[in-house]
């Protein structure tokens, strides 16, 4: 059974108050939830207690909200989850007094979305990095690249994260950022283009 189809089935049961389905749903989404949180925390190294605390906070908010969830399927559920994550991470930074959040995305896989070749940029990064000590070099260069996300303007950064980490489409990003669908898609594309420029500059400095 496809992953999203399985999540949709668990979701429908969890929304009816099935405790076993709720437990299974939380376990199923945990890796993706961890990624959604990790990419908004920093600087590296990530404090894993912070991640774990935020996972718990999101789950505590999510579980009672399932009975009120009115969306359909995995896509709308992850859009809903993304909103809770963003809210909880903002609360976290208000508590700790942080001015900004660094990001570390190197261990995360981009989620499927509707942004075509922009998404290919992320999935092709490691393949494009070659050299004599290829595995180490690719890992180091990839880490340097993804850290450039923190240098994007805030709305571009959040749009890119929602598209390629949270797995939202342009309509869902637009709803989250109060933008028209076309404006949200353009915001993501501008973010990706700027990320490419930052990456090229970093490569030039290293060469």
Kindly report, residue by residue over 3-15, the tens digit of the pLDDT.
677 889 999 999 9
DSSP state of 151: G
Cβ neighbours around 87 below 10 Å, total: 13
pLDDT of residue 152: 85
Q: How far is CA 167 from CA 99, 130, 149, in A?
A: 26, 28, 16
Cβ neighbours around 160 below 10 Å, total: 27
pLDDT of residue 3: 61
pLDDT of residue 49: 85
177: Cα separation from own chain's centroid: 15
Q: Mind listing the domains of the chain with CATH numbers?
A: 3-96 (1.10.1740.10), 117-206 (1.20.140.160)
Mean pLDDT by 10 residues, the chain (207 residues): 78 95 95 84 66 94 94 88 92 72 44 53 46 50 61 87 86 92 94 86 74
pLDDT of residue 34: 86
């Amino acid at each position: 059974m496809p992953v999203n189809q399985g999540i949709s089935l668990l979701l429908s049961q969890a929304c009816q108050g099935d405790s076993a389905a709720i437990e299974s749903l939380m376990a199923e989404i945990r890796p993706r939830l961890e990624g959604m949180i990790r990419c908004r925390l920093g600087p590296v190294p990530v404090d894993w207690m912070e991640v774990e605390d935020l996972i718990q906070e999101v789950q505590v908010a999510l579980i009672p909200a399932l009975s009120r969830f009115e969306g359909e399927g995995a896509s709308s559920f992850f859009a809903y989850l993304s909103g809770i994550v963003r809210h909880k991470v903002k609360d976290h930074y208000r508590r700790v007094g942080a001015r900004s959040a660094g990001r570390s995305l190197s261990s995360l896989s981009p989620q499927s979305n509707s942004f075509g070749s922009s998404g290919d940029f992320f999935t092709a990064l490691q393949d494009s990095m070659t050299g004599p000590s290829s595995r180490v070099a690719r890992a180091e260069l990839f880490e340097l690249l993804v850290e450039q996300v923190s240098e994007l303007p805030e709305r571009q950064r959040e749009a890119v994260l929602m598209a390629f980490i949270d797995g939202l489409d342009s309509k869902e990003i637009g709803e989250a950022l109060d933008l028209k669908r076309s404006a949200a898609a353009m915001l993501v594309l501008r973010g990706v283009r700027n990320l490419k420029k930052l990456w090229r500059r970093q490569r030039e400095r290293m060469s």
